[in-house]
Amino acid sequence: MSIQRIKKNDVVIAVSGSIAGKSGKVMQILADHKSAIVEGVNMVKKCLRKSQDHPQGGISEKEAAIPMSRIMLLCPTCKKGVRTARVKHNDQMIRKCKRCGFLFEGSVK
């Protein structure tokens, strides 16, 4: 299995499809399907049947999974979706922005 370039709680931006340009925080990574669920992006409607919890029934909105190939990590200094490199910093491998050099796991540049 390949190394994950996006992790939970990362801020990402959609780069293609009808959701292109929308950004949000990663809520869940679905490694088996190579996709992620991003907060507020790729919203789908689901019909709710009448039940004790929902006596009126109705329609709810929730986030659907997005393939990992359609999202990129959002760099706070570049303000764009960026590719990352893995570099060794203080005896651990961390992600670094290829464009500006921002370190994602540490606060040191």
Domain 1-50+58-74 sits in CATH 2.30.30.30: yes
pTM equals 0.81
| Domain locations in the chain as residue ranges | 1-50+58-74, 82-109
Of the two residues 1 and 65, the one the predictor is more confident about is: 65
Binned at pLDDT 50, 70 and 90, residue 89 comes out as confident
77-86: pLDDT as tens digits: 999 999 999 9
Residue 104 CA to residue 22 CA, distance in Å, equals 20
